[in-house]
Amino acid sequence: MDGFACEVVTRPTSAFTLAPKSWTHAEAATITTAGLTAWRALIDDGNIKAGDTIVTLGTGGVSIAALQIGKMMGANVIITSSSDEKLERAKALGADHLINYKKHPQWAEQVMEITEGKGADHIIELGGPGTLEESANAIKVGGQISLIGVLTGFEGALPTAQLLFKQVRLQGLLVGNRDQQQAYIKALETNEVHPVIDNTFNFEALAEAFEYQLNGSHFGKIVTVW
Ligand SMILES: NC(=O)c1ccc[n+]([C@@H]2O[C@H](COP(=O)([O-])OP(=O)(O)OC[C@H]3O[C@@H](n4cnc5c(N)ncnc54)[C@H](OP(=O)(O)O)[C@@H]3O)[C@@H](O)[C@H]2O)c1
């Protein structure tokens, strides 16, 4: 898309924030999309509290940022992955409960067990149509599902009855604003949390970076550096 992967970008100063102190450029690059979207979903729109249970899907950039934010705020974090090895890595970052969604395609049952039948307060929904039904099964009555990702595509049926009867707040969102980014950066600095970068590629190898992302072996962020 025009405007991405440029060598030089000119924008008004109001389009920028300071990066967290002492972070590398590669680390700072993880903030503006993956991290900020997770922050806005959980903090500004989700208003999560210590003790809330959040579910985040997979172990890519957004999900690992959501895990870190959830733990900063004292939430119980349930994370899903197709890989037990990745789940162990998520546990080392503080994840409280681990679900392998390949072994448990109906992972909402695990969420219900973990939450003693109540359901999760908040779900970071990254799969889209292919996972929304399980998310609707896993959310509590009155809970919030942040529809951020479309890893399974754009088209699909809505779990209308579950959303209605559970009085779910289903919110689509696109990244966040400058104030939210500044608040996120402050929280990262205060809590001394750094992003998880799986791999970095030279700018010339941008296509390889996308191929690497497509093969799905990464954990956290993939970054290109100039
Ligand atoms: N709305 C916004 O503003 C916004 C902002 C950022 C990203 N996004 C979108 O959010 C999604 C995630 O972005 P990302 O950067 O985190 O992607 P990513 O780093 O490529 O994450 C991919 C990971 O998601 C997991 N995954 C894939 N299919 C899954 C499924 N069916 N169920 C559960 N987990 C699944 C896999 O984790 P495991 O290998 O652990 O299974 C995979 O490694 C993308 O669709 C992206 O376009 C939206």
CATH number of the domain located at residue range(s) 19-225 in this protein: 3.90.180.10
**Mean pLDDT of the 113-126 span:** 98
Give the separation between CA 16 and CA 182, rounded to whole angstroms: 10
Q: What tokens were used for 204?
A: 């010339």
| Residue to substitute in 1, 88, 124, 126 for testing ligand 1 pocket (most ligand atoms within 8 angstroms of CB) | 126
- Ligand 1 center to 99 CA (angstroms): 16
Per-residue CA distances from 2 to 6, 16, 210 (Å): 9, 19, 17
Residue 16, Cα to own-chain centre: how many angstroms?
22
CA separation, residue 208 to residues 32, 43, 124, 196, 204 (Å) = 22, 34, 28, 20, 9
Nearest-CA residue for atom 47 of ligand 1: 149
Residue 15 has a pLDDT of: 86
Q: What is the pLDDT of residues 141-167, one digit of tens each?
A: 999 999 999 999 999 999 999 999 999
Q: Record the tokens describing residue 51, joined without a space.
A: 């003790």
Question: Taking the domains of the chain in order of start, what are their residue ranges?
Answer: 19-225
Ligand 1, atom 2, residue with closest C-alpha: 174
* Cβ(198)–Cβ(219) below 8 Å: yes
Tell me, in angstroms, the distance from the centre of ligand 1 to residue 12's CA.
31
pLDDT surpassing 90 at residue 74: yes
Check pLDDT > 70 for residue 199: yes
pTM: 0.96
141 C-beta neighbours (distance < 10 Å), count: 10
The per-residue pLDDT for 126 is 98
164: exposed, middle or buried (Cβ count in 10 Å: 0-12, 13-18, 19+): exposed
> Which uninterrupted H or E stretch holds 107?
none
Confidence at 10, pLDDT banded by 50, 70, 90: confident
Question: For 85-114, how does the pLDDT look when each residue is reduced to its tens digit (9 = 90+)?
Answer: 999 999 999 999 999 999 999 999 999 999
